[in-house]
Chain A
Amino acid sequence: MEEIKLHYDVPGDDFTRAGEASADLKSRLKKLGIPSAAVRKVSIALYEGEINLAIHAGGGAIDVVIGGESLTMILSDHGPGIKDISLAMSEGFSTAPDEVRSLGFGAGMGLPNMKKYSDDFDIESQVGVGTNVTMKVYFDA
């Protein structure tokens, strides 16, 4: 299969739209015949990523590369950055405001879920500069 590249912009001011990119990607992957277990892993990991971009970073960008055996998602933002990445990766830790909790998120499961559903996961962040997350999912894993 020829490599497919996709780009999505996630708005930071409209939480109700978070999830549009993952829904679009999910439907494309289904049409491409990617195994359903891999599609689900990609969809959930990216959805949590979108929510994070909308909640914490004031929006951001998603770049997706679909290859023959795997898919890579790169999420980048110019948000406040993460001071302590290992703390942010622990289940239950959250800096989300109450407003976000009332919408059903902010339980401190976003980053752990993204890692859980990725086969390879990498996060780099600098306070005051932004955060980059790279997630890879293999289709046969």
Chain B
Amino acid sequence: MKISMLMEILEATLLTPDSDLECEVHDACGSDMMSDVLAYVKDQGVLLTGLNNPQVVRTADMMDMVCIVFVRGKQPDQTILDLANSRDIAVLSSNMTMFTACGLLYKSGLRGGRL
């Protein structure tokens, strides 16, 4: 699924305007616990989270993730966005809850990767 499609499904706003929306994401992970995210290998993944701090970007970077979606309308500050830009990670914000956002992406074919 392309990031542009993900944006459409989640009715999300793009917070990193220079990001490549044609980039493909293959797996998704929804969590507010970063150690849980780090426990499972993802490929070209998207991270959905309600946590709002720089460690979200660092975690996504370590996992080679290409996109972060802040759910529940969370708005990351400029420090977080700068960090994401420097790592070529697209950042989106959606007003949907975690459950709804994950459900809609699953329904559209995105899966959770392997344990």
Contact = CB atoms under 8 A, between A and B. Distances in A.
Interface of A: 15-16, 18-19, 22-23, 26, 36, 40, 43-44, 47-48, 51, 103-110, 112-113, 116
A90 B55 CA distance: 23
Given A47-B38, A109-B39, A104 B61 contact: no
B55 A26 contact: no
Interface string B25-46: 0000000111110110100000
Nearest to B57: A19
Given A36-B64, A47-B38, A104 B56 contact: yes
Nearest to A42: B62
Interface of B: 32-36, 38-39, 41, 49, 51, 53-56, 58-59, 61-64, 87
Given A40-B41, A104-B56, A113 B35 contact: yes
Contacts of B51: 103-104
Looking at chain B's contact residues, the main secondary structure is helix
A113 B62 contact: no
Contacts of B41: 40
Given A26-B62, A43-B62, A19 B38 contact: no
27 contacts: A16-B54, A18-B55, A19-B54, A19-B55, A19-B58, A22-B58, A22-B62, A23-B62, A40-B41, A43-B61, A44-B38, A47-B59, A47-B62, A103-B55, A104-B34, A104-B35, A104-B49, A104-B55, A104-B56, A104-B59, A105-B34, A108-B35, A109-B33, A109-B36, A109-B38, A113-B38, A116-B39
